[in-house]
Structure 1
């Protein structure tokens, strides 16, 4: 099987990259070991820019946007600045919606995936559910699966709620984000295990301690890239996928990355690392040593890529 791009992963970023490349006419295949996409993560927060990005795909699965409130040390409580509105996306529904729009090019529940780098890109093989063992070549492999390395846990919890406003809380260590949506609320917490409580769904991710985009012809994207940082996990995941699409296009067409895209990658990784600095201080209980303006600069949502 000859491919332009092989995408190996089951999260939203993998589906977005695969879908974006298929729409552009590339020979892309999405394979993963799970029985369904986004099996471990159901809900993620998205700020306005990335909610619009997903909304323009016509996928649905996004709650109403609400303005984010900020709770800092002491009794200070006000609006996040620069102003930000946030919603929650049902990322499993979004991913499944994107897949349903394409007739072929997805193999779930595969086993024994393996690959090696060759002169033409990669040689790969996997045992597919319907076809048995399949072998092929691709110019590029995109990996999005998570790695067990990092600074600590990102804990996602969704439960029943009567709250009305999203709150980014800097007054506790570590920081947290709560976003209400449709009678429930989704929390992004950092750094400690969730106590057993009644919850509709829970999942755990790892806060990566470094960014790793891989080495061509193997590209790391999504959570595997290390770009995705709380509290704006959905934004960074979508930004990573958007970058992945453009890197794949550049690589397949020219074997290189253009200057405009390279500059944007530097901007995203720099902002991600600044966010990591704030998270480090939050986990150490040292946010009070920083000015609020510096904290907010570090917690800005990532920008989208505009060629």
Structure 2
């Protein structure tokens, strides 16, 4: 490798810059080369339409990938949950670093938790997945909430609460933690209440597949357990034929018993955004030893969910 600075493509948001900054520092340590951040504006950053209407969170990825393929940057950092499930052959998913907290959090007025929200509380989220599960939880616990579709960065979303426009917003814990604002969450939402998006809390480091030397160097950042977990989650999403904006939640985690025998549990949920119908199942198996095994775990659970009626819920994603 030469000593020239590596160019890291990143979105311009505060969160994306923070995420990319962490990766840049890790790459500097691994390669001994300087890394410069190249800010790229994506359609998802400039459009004010709701994500489900403009193609889901994949709209944040296209411009970065175009810059990679054009040779304008050497590698890029994405929030893994934004990546479409099909990986382009020209690009290598070189590393999936150790995952941050995958859970969602509530940021509510007056320090309230979800169950303490008043009747008719207005809860902001741009995610059909969150709407489906929050509405289902509210229905089953005799609560009455109104989920409001919102867009914007973390500052904008929390601002709706501070300005009194909303009673609460739901965000990803990882995003708040990465910009040093985790303390503003009034509740960490249990995954038994709301399963996160497939890949939530994980980052994806991509580079041209043709650059074997850089692919190998970036691979030093990879965490095999995180990669296995998110591969299973994204395999479930792909097998359900659902896009990034569909109301699908999934989480794979590692279980261990007294004999320290590790297994991976994969949980999945699909629901209508009004919360009236959920299909929620789980499966457990050995920790995947290969990409193929992780994919198989996701497909197995997806098959069970489809047999329970998940296919009929895939179209229920209107905001």
Question: TM-score, normalised to structure 2's length?
Answer: 0.31
| Greater fraction of residues in helix | 2
TM-score (norm 1): 0.32
